């Protein structure tokens, strides 16, 4: 049985590690999303080398080439139209998007954030989590809205904060969770298992709940019935 695959464009600014995890997931023909293009706002983004190695078309649309943010976003929108994009995934894209652009792509644009939203919106999330004495940290995939890091949550993954963690070790642990979580969230959106309605994420009736995968706990929907409290306790030192 053939799967109708949603045409997906990934937007990056840097190394593209989450982009690579999405490309790898979508390399399976059964995956419900197809990566059809990459857009970067930086010509020297390392992720562009990954895209080239995978044979994916990429466009560099640099802010400095345009007179305003609106003109820059209009060029991005034109590129998305050229790619015939149905879903947009922000994967380390570091520029704020204009309200008009976000409104046009709302409910079809996803972002991954290295914290358990709504905690630690913005930058330096790992350092802030350590400073706050958090025992649990993680990452979130959400729909993009005009307010930064505030869109409806699609999926989250939690990792332990160890007593000897540094910002670097915690960031590395969260990044592993990100690489698992983003393909899971994209799959859900592409299949219609998660959609944005009335400013909230609405989930289809699915049992797609993953626990303890790769040393972290991820939940793409509400945990159903029994919760294994002993298992959850293992995530705190």
Q: Summarize pLDDT for 170-187 with one digit per residue, the tens.
A: 999 999 999 999 999 999
Question: What backbone phi and psi angles, to 5 degrees, belong to 2?
Answer: -75, 145
H or E, element range at 232? helix 229-233
Q: pLDDT band for position 206 (50/70/90)? A: low
Q: In the annotation, is 137 catalytic? A: no
The catalytically annotated residue of 72, 113, 137, 180 is 113
CB neighbours (10 Å) of residue 173? Answer: 20
Contacts of 101 (CB under 8 A, 6+ apart): 73, 74, 76, 77
User: What's the pTM?
Assistant: 0.89
């Amino acid at each position: 049985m053939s799967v109708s695959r949603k045409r997906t464009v990934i937007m990056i600014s840097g190394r593209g590690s989450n982009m690579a995890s999405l490309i790898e997931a979508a390399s399976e023909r059964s995956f419900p999303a197809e990566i059809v293009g990459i857009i970067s706002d930086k010509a020297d983004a390392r992720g562009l080398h990954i895209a080239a190695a995978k044979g994916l078309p990429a466009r560099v649309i640099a802010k400095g080439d345009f007179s305003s943010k609106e003109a820059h976003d209009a060029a991005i929108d034109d590129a998305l139209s050229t790619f015939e994009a149905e879903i947009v995934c922000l994967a380390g894209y570091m520029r704020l998007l204009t309200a008009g652009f976000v409104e046009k792509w709302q409910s079809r644009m996803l972002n991954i954030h290295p914290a358990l939203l709504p905690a630690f919106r913005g930058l330096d999330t790992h350092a802030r989590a350590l400073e706050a004495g958090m025992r649990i940290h993680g990452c979130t995939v959400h729909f993009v809205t005009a307010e930064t890091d505030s869109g409806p949550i699609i999926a989250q993954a939690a990792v332990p904060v160890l007593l000897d963690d540094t910002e670097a070790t915690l960031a590395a642990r969260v990044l592993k969770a990100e690489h698992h979580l983003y393909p899971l969230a994209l799959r859900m959106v592409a299949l219609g298992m998660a959609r944005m309605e009335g400013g909230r994420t609405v989930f289809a009736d699915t049992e797609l709940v993953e626990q303890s995968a790769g040393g972290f706990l991820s939940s793409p929907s509400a945990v159903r019935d029994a919760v294994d409290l002993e298992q959850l306790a293992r995530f705190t030192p």
